[in-house]
A and B are shown apart, each in its own frame.
Chain A
Amino acid sequence: MSVGDTPPPPLRLRLASHGLDAVTLLVLPAAALLVALFVYPFFYGLWLSLHPKDGSIFGNYVKFFSDPFLYETIGKTLWLAVPVTVLNLVAAIPIAFRVRRMRNQRLLTTILVLPITLGTVLVAEGMLNYFGPQGWFNRTVMTLGLSATPLKLVHNYTGVFLSLVITGFPFTFLLVLSYLTGIDPVLEQAASTLGAKASSRFRHILLPLLVPGLGVTFCLGFVQAFSVFPSAVLLGAPAGPTRVISIAAYEAAFEQYDYSLASAIAMVMAAVLLAVIVAVMSLRGLFYRGPASGGKG
C-alpha cells in the first residue's frame, strides 16, 4: 500500500503528535492571566510612556535625562546596588564553602531565611530601633569604647546599605549554597586523588563549575537591590543620597499622578536591569555551563 492511500489522520491526532492535546491546554489559564496582568501592562506602560502630557513621543525620556533630580537616581541606585551585591556575593562564597561541610546546616539556614521572610518593611522598622542612636548596637559600640559618640547608621546611605545586606546576604548565601551543594563532591575527591591541594581544587574544579551559578546569583541579588524601595524611604535620606529610581517612579505616579512619566521611569529601570543582566550573562557564557556532576548517574 502506498503512502497516498492512507487517509490523513484526524486533526486531533495530528495536533497531539506535536504535543498539543487536552493536557497542553491546561497551561492556557495561567498563561492568559500573565499576559493580562504582566505582558499587557508592560506594553501599555511602554505605550503610555511614549504619550506624555506635552504630546511629544520621547518627551518623558527627554525630561528624565535632562532633569538631574530624575537622572541622578540611576547613579544613586547603582551606587547602592552594585557594592551591596558584590559584597554579599564575596562574603557568601567562603561562608557557603564552610557551611557545605557542616552536618547541621538547617539551623543556620533557618535563621538566615528569617529576614527574607519578614520582608524589607519589618527589617527597616527593626533597624530604626536597633541601629538608632539609642539602640543596642550603638550602646554596645560605646560601651566597648569603639566610638565616643553614637554612629550615624540610619537615615542615610549606610542605613539603606545595611538593610540591603541584611535582606540580601541571606538570599545570596542560600543561593550560593544550593549551587555549591549541587557540585558532585566526588569531583573534588577525584581531583585530590590526582594530587590537587585544597587551593588547586578550588581554582580548577569548584570555581569554574560555580561561576555560572554565581552569575545568576549576582543578577538576582542585583535585581533585588536595584529595586530597593521601602528601606530607601524609611531608613535612608529619600530626598538626598538614597533617592533611588523606584522612589522617583513612585512619586511620579502617586504624588504627581503623571502615570506617563512614571511608566517611562519604570521602563528606564527595566532597561538598566536588562543591560546589567545581559552583560553578566554574556560573561557567564564564556564559561562551562551544564550539569556539575562527574558522569552518568
Chain B
Amino acid sequence: MQQSRPIAERAWVTIVWVLTGFFVVNLLAMIGTVVTSSFATRWLGTWLPAGWTPKWYISAWDEFQLDDLLIVTFEVVFAVVALSALLGIPAAYALARREFPGKKLVMLLFLLPLLVPPVTYGIPLATVLYKSGLGGTMSGVIAANLVPAVPFVILVMIPFIEQIDPKIEAAARVFGASTFRLFVHVLVPLLLPGALAALLLVLVRTIAMFELTFLTAGPGSQTLVVALYYAVFAAGVRAVQSVDAMAVVYMLTTLVWLIVALRFVNPTQMVTRAKQQQH
C-alpha cells in the first residue's frame, strides 16, 4: 500500500507538517513569551529582556492577593468536583443501566448545557442567581459551574459504566451482597478509574471556566481566571510583567492538573465528551 510515494503526495505531506509545525511553534512561543516576560526586568524593543528577576511574582502576589485568589479558586473547584461526582455518578449509573420512559428527554437535558455556550445561558442564570441573592457569592459561583460539570461527568461516565458487565453486579447479588456492600466492594472499585478521569477533567475545565464565573462572581468569589481577565482588561494600570507573572501562576495551577489528568485520559477525550451521544 505504501511502497512507492509519488512526489505530489510527498509535497502534500510536507505542507501538512509545515502547517502543523508552524501552529505548534507559535503556540509554544506564545506561552514562552508570557513566561519570559514574567521574569524580565525591562523588555522593550529587544529579542530578550535586559535582565532577569523573580520580583514580579512577589509584587503580583501582593497586588492581586494571589493567596486569597488561589484559596477561593480551589474552594470553588473542589466543591464543584465533589458535588458533580455526588450528583453525576449516580445519575450516570441510572442512565447506563435502566431504560425508562422519558429517558431521551433526560439525556437531552444533560446534553444541552454542554452544547449551549456558557455566555448564552450564563446571563439568564446570573439574573436568577442575583434575584435569589446568590449572585456574587461563592455558592452562586459553585452553582453556576455545576451546570456544565454535572452533565460532563454524566456523559463521560455513561459509556464507562455501560462497558462494565452488569453480570458482575448480578453475581455479587447472587452471592448475597446487600446494596451497600455491593456499592462498596463491587461498584466503587470498578467505577474508580472512570470517575477519576471524569473528575480530573471537570477540575481542569472548572479552573479554566471563565464565562460562568465572570458572570456570577462578586469581589469575594472571583477565581484566578476572572482576576486575570480583569488584570489584562485594565492593562496599563499595572506593569505588564506583573500581569504575566499572574498568568504564569494561573498556567501552573491548570497545567499541574492537566499533567495529572493526562496520566489517566487520552487528550482527545478532553474534547469528545458529547460525541458518543450524537448518533
The answer to whether B270 and A174 touch across the interface, beta carbons within 8 angstroms, is yes
Contacts of A29 in B (CB 8 A): 87, 90-91
Give the bracket for the number of chain B residues in contact with chain A.
35 or more
Query: Any chain A CB within 8 A of the CB of B196?
Result: no
Contacts of B88 in A (CB 8 A): 30
Query: Any chain A CB within 8 A of the CB of B232?
Result: yes
- Complex CA–CA separation, A44 to B30 (angstroms): 42
* Given contact pairs A94-B16, A121-B228, A178-B275, a sample of 4 additional A-B residue pairs in the complex whose CB atoms are under 8 Å apart: A30-B90, A128-B235, A130-B26, A213-B275
Contacts of B33 in A (CB 8 A): 126, 129-130, 135-136
The answer to whether A117 and B272 touch across the interface, beta carbons within 8 angstroms, is no
The answer to whether B24 and A122 touch across the interface, beta carbons within 8 angstroms, is no
Query: Any chain B CB within 8 A of the CB of A70?
Result: no
The answer to whether B267 and A112 touch across the interface, beta carbons within 8 angstroms, is yes
The answer to whether A23 and B94 touch across the interface, beta carbons within 8 angstroms, is yes
The answer to whether A37 and B116 touch across the interface, beta carbons within 8 angstroms, is no
In the complex, what residue of chain A is closest to B109 when comparing beta carbons? A34
The answer to whether B118 and A227 touch across the interface, beta carbons within 8 angstroms, is yes
Query: Any chain A CB within 8 A of the CB of B3?
Result: no
The answer to whether B119 and A227 touch across the interface, beta carbons within 8 angstroms, is yes
- Complex CA–CA separation, A166 to B204 (angstroms): 18
Query: Any chain B CB within 8 A of the CB of A184?
Result: no
The answer to whether B26 and A37 touch across the interface, beta carbons within 8 angstroms, is no
B-contacting residues, A239-296, CB 8 Å? 246, 249-250, 253-254, 259, 262-263, 265-266, 269-270, 273, 277, 289-291
- Complex CA–CA separation, A277 to B112 (angstroms): 13
The answer to whether B119 and A229 touch across the interface, beta carbons within 8 angstroms, is yes
Contacts of A226 in B (CB 8 A): 117
Task: Pick the contact of B91: A30, A130, A137, A212 (CB < 8 A).
Answer: A30
The answer to whether B254 and A263 touch across the interface, beta carbons within 8 angstroms, is no
Which applies to chain B's interface (DSSP): helix, strand, loop or mixed?
A: helix
CB distance from A153 to the nearest CB of B (A): 11
A31-B91, A109-B267 given; A234·B116 CB < 8 A: no
Give the bracket for the number of chain A residues in contact with chain B.
35 or more
In the complex, what residue of chain A is closest to B205 when comparing beta carbons? A117
Contacts of A265 in B (CB 8 A): 123
Q: Taking each of B99, B117, B233, B243, which has the highest tally of chain A beta carbons within 10 Å of its own beta carbon?
A: B117
Contacts of B243 in A (CB 8 A): 125
A-contacting residues, B240-279, CB 8 Å? 240, 243-244, 247, 250-251, 254-255, 258, 262, 266-268, 270-272, 274-275, 278-279
- Complex CA–CA separation, A259 to B31 (angstroms): 37
In the complex, what residue of chain A is closest to B271 when comparing beta carbons? A174
Contacts of B266 in A (CB 8 A): 106, 109
Contacts of B119 in A (CB 8 A): 227, 229, 246, 249-250, 266, 269
Q: Taking each of A20, A27, A39, A259, which has the highest tally of chain B beta carbons within 10 Å of its own beta carbon?
A: A27
Task: Pick the contact of A129: B9, B34, B126, B211 (CB < 8 A).
Answer: B34
Binds A, one of B52-60, B70-78, B142-150, B170-178: B142-150
Contacts of A128 in B (CB 8 A): 232, 235
The answer to whether B244 and A129 touch across the interface, beta carbons within 8 angstroms, is yes
The answer to whether A137 and B211 touch across the interface, beta carbons within 8 angstroms, is no
Query: Any chain B CB within 8 A of the CB of A223?
Result: yes
The answer to whether B124 and A174 touch across the interface, beta carbons within 8 angstroms, is no
Query: Any chain A CB within 8 A of the CB of B20?
Result: yes
The answer to whether A39 and B99 touch across the interface, beta carbons within 8 angstroms, is no
The answer to whether B20 and A234 touch across the interface, beta carbons within 8 angstroms, is no
Query: Any chain A CB within 8 A of the CB of B120?
Result: yes
